[in-house]
A and B are shown apart, each in its own frame.
Chain A
Amino acid sequence: MKAGLQFLASGRVKQATVRNDWQPKLGDKFIRRPRVKLHRLRRVLGIPGLFSTAYGDLGSSIYYALGLVALVAMGATPVVLGIAGIFFVFTALSYAEGTAMLPEAGGSASFARHGFSDLTGFIAGWALMFGYIVTIAISAYTIPSYLGYFWEPLKESPVFHTSVSMGIVGLLMLVNVVGVRESSQLNFILAVFDIATQLLIIVVALLILFSPAVFWGRVTGYWPSTPNLIFGIAIAAIAFTGVETISQMAEETRRPQVRAPRALALVAIVVLVIFAGISIAAFSALTPPELASQWATDPVAGIAHGLSIAIVPSELAARWFSEPAHQIIAAYFLQALRDLLPVLVALLAATILFIATNAGLLGISRLAFSLGRFQLIPPSLSRVHPRSKTPYISIIVFTLAALVLQIPGFFTSNMFVNLGGLYAFGSMLSFALAHASILALRIRKPDLPRPFKLGWNIRIKGRDLPLTAILGLIGTVVIWIVVVIMQSYSRWVGFGWMAVGLGAYYLYHRRKAGVSESSG
């Protein structure tokens, strides 16, 4: 042994009986790379891991979806969120069957590729990418609104607002190209903190402000026109971004056949409960016109503002407690809550939206890589940088697309609704194809093992077709058609995106066929 060689032992030897409780923490996932034999996935992600990852996406949407929906649906906001919630459940169920059956990254693109063809898989994937890009744009666009609590021009000035949101997207692009490590534990802590804060808001609103008569009066008094009601349902789909995430993570999940459906069910329940609660809190604290105007881009800040005005510490303490000592303590805590709630919401929302923007970027680059692997998009898009080991081309290309979508923020006031419409365009198309693929797979590959099989089936020509997938397909197609008819911006930008993608797909495959012919 060389002189100078030193040894460090771990200090204490932990007995196996003591340390065999080691569990991989959230985000610890490993695969064995093939050397001679085929590689296998070391699946480690469990239900909590899947839940917190998906909730990171879904939970963030509450910070903008409420105001966005209120802009269109006004008093009917809780109703349209409820209707969209039903379609969300149908979509989550279809994803549960698909993910358990095909546990691979790609989500609806993967279902469509197996259920129909490569081209349909590409259309689903390309539409999904559009949804991701809009999510990046809209999450980043909402951050300055919440930070406006600390410096008003961030919220009020279109130039500052849009510049900062574009700066955030640009910064995240650089960070992801360089390849900074992401803390999965931080995401988990934030998801827990986020749920706790939202529950606190709901409980405080129910205790202090909720009145069934006022709530009903605000719903009926500001009921929208029928077209706005229908468009509101379409826009409300943005509240349920992230259902795709669990499917994307299936590849990294331990026993995905069992855990992915359970995580999807858990996410669906939690999100529906929180959205219902926050809608009630919003309509208790604010009128629909207030929610749709000054608080449109930061609705949860609006609720916190309304609550902090409604909290009169001494009055509430006297109402709840008879003992003077108890009243003093209660008043102290209520004063602290009143002072801290708006600051807490501003900081938490900005942080969660920042992480959601980043999650969108990571999601789209993973999806691009997945599509590139099946040669649905040119492999150059999934090229990995030799030094940073990141798919820098796809990160740059799709971030630039998100930046382009933010540019109208400098000039127009209805940019927020337009982004909502664009999201509905991409996601509804992708979700509709997911439902259709589940039905197609039931017809074409009925014997494929389905660890999670949807119930409530209708038997047609000897094939069991799940009712929820049929209803989900009808619902998402109708919503998509509504968006296309009612929103010219979404129609042209959305179809433009699809046309660019299909054109590139055609050229790429034509070139590929030419190359194989000439080499053959």
Chain B
Amino acid sequence: MRFERILVAVNGKDADVEAVKLACDLAKKSKAKVYVVYVIEVNRSLPLDAVIEPEIEKAEKLLMRAEEIASERGYEIETDLIQAREVGPAIVDEAMERDADLILMGVTYKKRFGTFSLGRVIPYVLEEAPCRVLLCREPVS
């Protein structure tokens, strides 16, 4: 499978590292573009463009870390920071705007009420994304 534009959605979990590495490896074959995005979810009690310093700081660190990982892999990536009311639609919208042919996301192994759970963002993206979606689940510790 060859990809031209890969969108990696990061959320600050450990699984992001493997997702970025994997995106770089996949992109190398076809010299694809890799976009890494972080979505800040803004509560409705705030304007959408509210500056939430700690969140922005955290996001900047994460995106810088993603750039470092890519650089270690010998690949250059583009990073972006988005504010939205909900993460899932923001990722799908971003993928559509960038005409991405793959969305790649890291998944943390977690259980909710005794059952493995993907949370609310991943099922939304799996259902609504127009392109391929690849999930990279971290090993069970």
A403 nearest CB across to chain B (Å): 18
Contacts between chains A and B (CB distance < 8 A), count: 141
Most chain A beta carbons < 10 A, residue from B39, B44, B59, B63: B44
Q: Does B132 contact A (CB under 8 A)?
A: yes
Do B48 and A252 touch (CB < 8 A)?
yes
Do A251 and B43 touch (CB < 8 A)?
no
| A208: chain B residues within 8 A (beta carbon) | none
| B50: chain A residues within 8 A (beta carbon) | 369, 384
Do B55 and A28 touch (CB < 8 A)?
no
Most chain A beta carbons < 10 A, residue from B50, B79, B137, B139: B50
| A306: chain B residues within 8 A (beta carbon) | none
Do A32 and B82 touch (CB < 8 A)?
yes
Write out, one digit per residue, whether chain B residues 70-98 have a CB within 8 A of any chain A CB (1) or not (0).
00000000011111111001101110100
| B4: chain A residues within 8 A (beta carbon) | none
Do A384 and B46 touch (CB < 8 A)?
yes
Q: Does B121 contact A (CB under 8 A)?
A: no
Contact partner of A5 (CB less than 8 A), chosen from B18, B40, B82, B86, is B18
Q: Does A207 contact B (CB under 8 A)?
A: no
Q: How many residues of A contact B (CB 8 A)?
A: 53
Q: Does B56 contact A (CB under 8 A)?
A: yes
Q: Does B133 contact A (CB under 8 A)?
A: yes
Q: Whole-angstrom distance between the alpha carbons of A366 and B44 in the complex?
A: 8
Q: Does B107 contact A (CB under 8 A)?
A: yes
Q: Whole-angstrom distance between the alpha carbons of A175 and B128 in the complex?
A: 30
Q: Does B32 contact A (CB under 8 A)?
A: no
| A179: chain B residues within 8 A (beta carbon) | 43, 45
Q: Whole-angstrom distance between the alpha carbons of A1 and B140 in the complex?
A: 15
Do B43 and A390 touch (CB < 8 A)?
yes
Do B89 and A25 touch (CB < 8 A)?
yes
Contact partner of A10 (CB less than 8 A), chosen from B45, B53, B132, is B132
Do A5 and B137 touch (CB < 8 A)?
yes
Q: Does A395 contact B (CB under 8 A)?
A: yes
Residues A42 and B82 in contact in the complex (CB < 8 Å), given A24-B89, A179-B45: yes
Residues A41 and B45 in contact in the complex (CB < 8 Å), given A6-B137, A22-B130, A33-B83: no
Q: Enumerate B87-131 residues with CB–CB distance to A below 8 Å.
A: 89-90, 92-94, 96, 107, 126, 128-131
Residues A27 and B86 in contact in the complex (CB < 8 Å), given A5-B138, A7-B135, A33-B81: yes
Q: Whole-angstrom distance between the alpha carbons of A176 and B45 in the complex?
A: 7
Q: Is the interface of B mostly helix, strand, loop or mixed?
A: mixed
| A362: chain B residues within 8 A (beta carbon) | 44-45
Do A366 and B49 touch (CB < 8 A)?
no
Q: Whole-angstrom distance between the alpha carbons of A7 and B46 in the complex?
A: 37
Q: Whole-angstrom distance between the alpha carbons of A20 and B52 in the complex?
A: 33
Which residue of A has the minimal Cβ distance to B80?
A32
Do A32 and B130 touch (CB < 8 A)?
no
Which residue of A has the minimal Cβ distance to B101?
A16
Q: Enumerate A37-54 residues with CB–CB distance to B below 8 Å.
A: 39, 41-42, 44
Do B126 and A369 touch (CB < 8 A)?
no
Residues A3 and B139 in contact in the complex (CB < 8 Å), given A28-B84, A35-B79: yes
Do A10 and B18 touch (CB < 8 A)?
no
| A1: chain B residues within 8 A (beta carbon) | 22
| B80: chain A residues within 8 A (beta carbon) | 32, 35
Q: Top 9 closest A-B pairs, CB basis? A: A4-B139, A19-B130, A10-B133, A28-B89, A30-B84, A33-B81, A8-B135, A365-B45, A6-B137
A-B contact pairs, 12 of them (CB 8 A): A6-B139, A7-B137, A14-B130, A19-B129, A22-B96, A24-B89, A29-B84, A33-B40, A33-B82, A35-B60, A390-B43, A391-B45
Interface set of B (CB-CB < 8 Å, partner A): 18, 22, 39-40, 42-50, 52-56, 59-60, 63, 79-86, 89-90, 92-94, 96, 107, 126, 128-140
